[in-house]
Amino acid sequence: MSPDEFRKHGHAVIEWLAAYMEGVENYPVASQLSPGDVRARLPEHAPEHGEPFADIIEDLDDIIMPGITHWQSPNFFAYFPANASPPAILGELVSAGLGVQGMLWATSPACTELETHMLDWLVDLMGLPEEFRSSGPGGGVIQDSASSAALCALVAARHRASPGDLKVYTSSHAHSSIEKAVRIAGFGDDALRLVDVDDDFALRPDALAAGLASDVAAGATPCLVAATSGTASSMAFDPLRPVADICRRHDAWLHVDAAMAGSAAICTEHRGFLDGLDLADSFCFNPHKWLLTNFDCDCFYVADRTALIDALSVLPEYLRNQASDSKEVIDYRDWQVPLGRRFRSLKLWFVLRSYGAEELRAMIRRHVELASSFASWVEASDDFELCAPVHLNLVCFRHRGGDEVNHELQEHLNSSGKLYLTHTKLNDRTVLRMSIGQARTELRHVAAAWEQIQAAARG
Amino acid sequence: MSPDEFRKHGHAVIEWLAAYMEGVENYPVASQLSPGDVRARLPEHAPEHGEPFADIIEDLDDIIMPGITHWQSPNFFAYFPANASPPAILGELVSAGLGVQGMLWATSPACTELETHMLDWLVDLMGLPEEFRSSGPGGGVIQDSASSAALCALVAARHRASPGDLKVYTSSHAHSSIEKAVRIAGFGDDALRLVDVDDDFALRPDALAAGLASDVAAGATPCLVAATSGTASSMAFDPLRPVADICRRHDAWLHVDAAMAGSAAICTEHRGFLDGLDLADSFCFNPHKWLLTNFDCDCFYVADRTALIDALSVLPEYLRNQASDSKEVIDYRDWQVPLGRRFRSLKLWFVLRSYGAEELRAMIRRHVELASSFASWVEASDDFELCAPVHLNLVCFRHRGGDEVNHELQEHLNSSGKLYLTHTKLNDRTVLRMSIGQARTELRHVAAAWEQIQAAARG
């Protein structure tokens, strides 16, 4: 495809995407296809000869689009938001076109330096501890996901810890990625301690302290505590300061996962959960969830980068270069699992500049307000009840009719295509999650969702 | 940014990228900036209010572009190719715009099914073993990198192995990602065995057999052997069949890393290295290197997916869904480290269809022929010598004047901006690597590079 053909097809794709943005509300939110439906329509073999680009776009419409679940729909209330804003999309486009590798500073200096700079910008914007700024012993890096961030934190913590029978602690409501990281890092089946939560599903510091003390008494070594600021199930916030105090007493690494909620810290009034974060060793949050920067973009900070780099650095001759030898540069390959890396900070730069801090704050505030409205409707209803304290943009609620009724409700609503929501379990009861964070979501979408939920419940 | 503004700015970015493609040859290949130069020109804080998109593009030109090392330049001969072709860029653009998560089949069925289908297409195109096809107990998945693929293979191998003192084997010329994966997975410092290579830098099966036998005699358990098809230093090919036989005898997992060379298997005449791959447990190669599909796109195959999924699956309530429960679908989150995942198969689909197999083969053959020509010029020269057998698209050569001369030569050439090449060490001598794999590279670029190398050597 020549540059001129790229122009032609590129303009067509831009038009296609603009039309998608304008029409995304009209698609069934969750794909209504059955397993195998997409593959059944694809040819068995790759073509021998090139095909016209228009044919590919036609198949995109006919074969792929019915199999898409529309995370960009304003009626998407499932899981967590995964916003792809127009400036982020264009940042990703430029990144793909430049096609640079950012594994070393030397392989594209701007890729490394813009990333460091964006991560420092976010320290200011969010009021994060000074420890996370790149000018000191710490610093930030973009990971693909909070899962990978947790794995890197764990590997760094192990590197820093004294050898022994290492244990990892997290609440029973923490994300599955913590357990997955413990498995991948090979801590052994017995290493993970799930700590009890309180009535609001937040980690109980007394239970954590007791757990560490009991393990230490038995000869084990607390290696890492993973606290969550905004759990996946119910947006619970583990109390960081008492947790950090316990970690300090035992020289355990404190990792704080704020994948979903972290972006809210750009608003001063939603920053309360950061109290104690200055005592943490690492922290991550996902602009690819709630800061308009499309996946993948997890910002991962460490208060001291030494253990992370020492744990992950392997330097073969074919990667050696003067800049690395000078120790004056950051080589981000030593901050992550893979060697290669994309120019991901471009999209973050495009987003922060296109919107400016004020417009991003306004979006967060709007979503929080919508969640609050939704919660008030649930509270006022006879048939439904709230199931957890409402923090930020998530409302956990259920029909009073029992688990079966809620499952049927969810199934009925999702198969309508009019909205999409998912469930969890809280206190062993099935609970519906209304996660309000898509950039296009307005009051009318949330109000319509509540109408549909009530109508479905009436049968 | 409204859809209409996205149209306007999107068209501008497409024009910008088309002009970049037309002009990429005119940039200094390696960035000539010093550490800190990019950051020094960026404002200290994120803007409070949104800025015009045109300002961002202006800064992209003024601040970022001088800090770019042009991996898309036809004069890029460093490291390995990382091609971003026009159809791949447009596939990435559509993927960013749709912004779907492919963690579960249910979160966007087309994302999973197209990926499975593309990986099956490649089994055919490359003549890979039937074991890797998704219709049997095995199957393929897209990882971000060969590093992550190696880590997943290692975690799966450990899951399958009997507990014990597990050892991992790879050649002393294997990629650093194997050592990194062993560290991350927590096998311990003593677990990695670097096996001797022969005169062509390929793993010696006799040394491997002796290493395993000696470890077994000492009570250890061979867990995984990582063979390389096309090493990073010199494109050496470990002999898979004898290696596989040794693995089978000891129930060790055989992982084959063909990150760079794998794409060549689309040409039947370059498929010889696959002999024995039917006995491997896992295999990966990177279309983001030599198959015109921009980073990240590593294709990772397993002959039996059971151990991989069992090792990596953690199923919290909030991810449960009917499709997963039915066991009729693939949930790729269980095939990788992160939970979230982009719709990466779109770009592979765009590439395979836009070019067709025949045009992709022609590119591979052209690069191999160019490398062969370059090698013949080196051989005919009095001042330079070849330092390794020339396989596929890589020529390892050096000036006969010694290490210092070669380092100066490299430094001089790279700072000229006219070409970019990197070095390695073979038999303790510094060697220059001429890696010919950029899609735009023609005979004239390789010939000019050779002229410049000779001129620089003359001083």
Instruction: Report ipTM (2 d.p.).
Output: 0.97
Please say whether the beta carbons of B302 and B152 come within 8 A: no
Please give the pLDDT value at position B355: 98
Burial class of residue A62 (count of CB atoms within 10 Å of its CB; 0-12, 13-18, 19+):
exposed
pLDDT digits (tens, 9 = 90+) for A106-125: 999 999 999 999 999 999 99
CB contact under 8 A, B295 and A340: yes
Q: Order of strands, edge to edge, in the sheet holding B298-302?
A: B139-143, B298-302, B282-285, B253-257, B221-228, B166-171, B192-195
Please say whether the beta carbons of A157 and A255 come within 8 A: yes
Q: Which residues of A touch B45 (CB under 8 A)?
A: 121, 124
* Cβ atoms within 10 Å, residue A413: 23
Look up tokens 């927590």; give the residue: B186
pLDDT digits (tens, 9 = 90+) for B375-386: 999 999 999 999
Please say whether the beta carbons of B344 and B297 come within 8 A: yes
Report the DSSP beta bridge partners of residue A88: none
List, in sequence order, every beta strand (DSSP E) within B87-246: 139-143, 166-171, 192-195, 221-228
**Nearest CB to A82: which of B5, B101, B329?**
B101
CB contact under 8 A, B232 and A68: no
Please give the pLDDT value at position B69: 98
**Nearest CB to A312: which of B37, B65, B180?**
B180
Q: If pLDDT is split at 50, 70 and 90, which confidence band does B360 have?
A: very high
Residue-averaged pLDDT of chain A: 97
% of chain A with per-residue pLDDT over 90: 96
How far separated are the first and last CA of chain B, in Å rounded? 55
Please say whether the beta carbons of B398 and B428 come within 8 A: no
CB contact under 8 A, A353 and B145: no
Min CA distance, A303 vs chain B (Å)? 20
Rounded CA-CA distance A250/A242 in Å is 13
Which of B67, B53, B82 has the alpha carbon at shortest distance from A117? B67
Task: For residue B391, report the phi and psi dihedrals to the nearest 5 degrees.
Answer: -110, 135
| pLDDT at residue A316 greater than cutoff 90 | no
Please give the pLDDT value at position A277: 98
Rounded CA-CA distance B258/B284 in Å is 6
Q: If pLDDT is split at 50, 70 and 90, which confidence band does A456 have?
A: very high
pLDDT digits (tens, 9 = 90+) for A143-189: 999 999 999 999 999 999 989 999 999 999 999 999 999 999 999 88
Rounded CA-CA distance B1/B9 in Å is 9
Please give the pLDDT value at position A19: 98
List, in sequence order, every beta strand (DSSP E) within B363-447: 384-386, 394-399, 422-426, 429-435
* Cβ atoms within 10 Å, residue A194: 17
Q: Where are the alpha helices (DSSP H) in B291-384?
A: 306-312, 322-326, 345-380
How far separated are the first and last CA of chain A, in Å rounded? 55
CB contact under 8 A, B339 and A145: yes
| pLDDT at residue B271 greater than cutoff 90 | yes
Q: Order of strands, edge to edge, in the sheet holding A429-435?
A: A384-386, A394-399, A429-435, A422-426
And the tokens for A294? Answer: 């499309």
The three-class DSSP label of residue A41 is coil
What mean pLDDT do residues B357-362 have?
A: 98
Which of B83, B88, B73, B93 has the alpha carbon at shortest distance from B24? B73
Residue A334 C-beta-side C-alpha neighbours within 13 Å: 20
CA distances from A137 to A116, A140, A310, A372, B93 (A): 13, 11, 13, 40, 37
And the tokens for B51? Answer: 């800025």
Q: Which residues of A touch B406 (CB under 8 A)?
A: none
Which of B247, B273, B241 has the alpha carbon at shortest distance from B258? B273
Rounded CA-CA distance B399/B407 in Å is 10
Residue range(s) of every CATH 1.20.1340.10 domain in chain A:
3-79
Please give the pLDDT value at position A122: 98
Please say whether the beta carbons of A167 and A221 come within 8 A: yes
Q: Which residues of B touch A423 (CB under 8 A)?
A: 317-318, 320
Q: If pLDDT is split at 50, 70 and 90, which confidence band does A23 have?
A: very high
Secondary element (H or E) of residue B160: helix B146-160
Rounded CA-CA distance B390/B371 in Å is 8
**Nearest CB to A33: which of B20, B66, B109?**
B109
Please say whether the beta carbons of B142 and B342 come within 8 A: no
Burial class of residue A76 (count of CB atoms within 10 Å of its CB; 0-12, 13-18, 19+):
buried
CB contact under 8 A, B318 and A6: no
Q: How many residues does chain A have?
A: 459
| pLDDT at residue B316 greater than cutoff 90 | no
Residue range(s) of every CATH 3.40.640.10 domain in chain B:
100-342
**Residue in A38, A44, A64 to test binding to B, most B beta-carbons within 10 Å:** A64
- Our measurement of the distance from residue A348's CA atom to the centroid of its chain's CA atoms, rounded to an integer in Å, reads 14
| pLDDT at residue A318 greater than cutoff 90 | no
Amino acid at A91: G
Min CA distance, A377 vs chain B (Å)? 23
Burial class of residue B124 (count of CB atoms within 10 Å of its CB; 0-12, 13-18, 19+):
middle
Min CA distance, A354 vs chain B (Å)? 5
Closest residue in B to A423 (Cα) is: B318
| pLDDT at residue A317 greater than cutoff 90 | no
Residue A93: CB partners within 8 Å, gap ≥ 6? B10, B13, B14, B17, B89, B92, B93, B96
b/e string for A370-403 if b means 16 or more Cβ within 10 A?
bbebbbebbeebeebebbbbbbbbbbbbbbeeee
Q: Which residues of A touch B29 (CB under 8 A)?
A: none
Q: Which residues of B touch A180 (CB under 8 A)?
A: 312, 314, 337, 339
CB contact under 8 A, A79 and B296: no
Min CA distance, A216 vs chain B (Å)? 22
Please give the pLDDT value at position A315: 87
CB contact under 8 A, A114 and B64: yes
Q: If pLDDT is split at 50, 70 and 90, which confidence band does A433 have?
A: very high
| pLDDT at residue A402 greater than cutoff 90 | yes
Which of B256, B268, B261 has the alpha carbon at shortest distance from B125? B268
Q: If pLDDT is split at 50, 70 and 90, which confidence band does A55 have?
A: very high
| pLDDT at residue A459 greater than cutoff 90 | no
Q: Which residues of A touch B186 (CB under 8 A)?
A: 155, 158, 185-187
Please say whether the beta carbons of A378 and A414 come within 8 A: no
Report the DSSP beta bridge partners of residue A434: A395
Rounded CA-CA distance B92/A89 in Å is 9
- Our measurement of the distance from residue A233's CA atom to the centroid of its chain's CA atoms, rounded to an integer in Å, reads 14
Triad A91, A97, A103: Cα angle to 5°: 85
CA distances from A35 to A341, B101, B111, B114, B306 (A): 33, 17, 12, 12, 20
The three-class DSSP label of residue A123 is helix
A100-342 is a CATH 3.50.50.60 domain: no
Which of B374, B366, B389 has the alpha carbon at shortest distance from B449? B374
Burial class of residue B2 (count of CB atoms within 10 Å of its CB; 0-12, 13-18, 19+):
exposed
Fold of A3-79: dopa decarboxylase, N-terminal domain (1.20.1340)
Q: If pLDDT is split at 50, 70 and 90, which confidence band does B270 have?
A: very high
| pLDDT at residue A347 greater than cutoff 90 | yes
**Nearest CB to B354: which of A1, A122, A175?**
A1
Residue A34 C-beta-side C-alpha neighbours within 13 Å: 2
Fold of B1-30+69-83+356-459: Aspartate Aminotransferase, domain 1 (3.90.1150)
Q: Which residues of A touch B183 (CB under 8 A)?
A: 155, 311-312, 314
Closest residue in A to B146 (Cα) is: A338
* Cβ atoms within 10 Å, residue A448: 15
List, as one string, the DSSP characters of B190-209. Answer: T-EEEEPB-TTS-B-HHHHH
Amino acid at B7: R
Residue range(s) of every CATH 3.90.1150.10 domain in chain B:
1-30+69-83+356-459
Amino acid at B169: Y
**Residue in A296, A314, A361 to test binding to B, most B beta-carbons within 10 Å:** A314
| pTM over 0.95, yes/no | yes
Q: Order of strands, edge to edge, in the sheet holding B422-426?
A: B384-386, B394-399, B429-435, B422-426
What mean pLDDT do residues B384-408 have?
A: 98
Please say whether the beta carbons of A334 and A312 come within 8 A: yes
b/e string for B275-293 if b means 16 or more Cβ within 10 A?
ebbebbbbbbbbbbbbbbb
% of chain B with per-residue pLDDT over 70: 100
Residue A127 Rama label (left phi>0; alpha psi -120 to 50; beta): left
User: What pairing do the DSSP bridges indicate for beta strands A221-228 and A253-257?
Assistant: parallel
Which of A86, A64, A74 has the alpha carbon at shortest distance from B91? A64
The three-class DSSP label of residue B140 is strand
For the four alpha carbons of B151, B156, B160 and B164, in that order, the dihedral sign comes to positive
And the tokens for B327? Answer: 């066991």
